[in-house]
Amino acid sequence: MIRQHLIFFGIVQGVGFRWRAMQAAKLYCCTGWVRNDYDGSVTMELQGTRPQIDKVLLALRSSRYTRIDRVVDWEIPIIPDERGFQVDYV
């Protein structure tokens, strides 16, 4: 089990990115959250196995409505009792 903090840059706001992230996370049994940031990027924390996280990221990259130009990511400590995935609204 790992947890990644990810920041997505590109055309990622106003195109259903957070909704798609939530659906993919639920489909592949990942937990965490996603939110829009004021600079036009999207931040997400995603927790699961490496294959689960890779499937979520593949789903996000394959959307025809978004364009991910760059992703900055790093591993962070897991949250043992986390349940579900949510969209945070700022």
Residues identified as active-site:
18, 36
The values of phi and psi at residue 31, to 5°, are -115, 170
What's the one-letter identity of residue 74? W
Rounded distance between C-alpha atoms, residue 12 and residue 88, angstroms: 15
Q: What are the DSSP E strand ranges found in the chain?
A: 2-11, 31-36, 42-48, 67-76, 85-88
Rounded distance between C-alpha atoms, residue 81 and residue 53, angstroms: 18
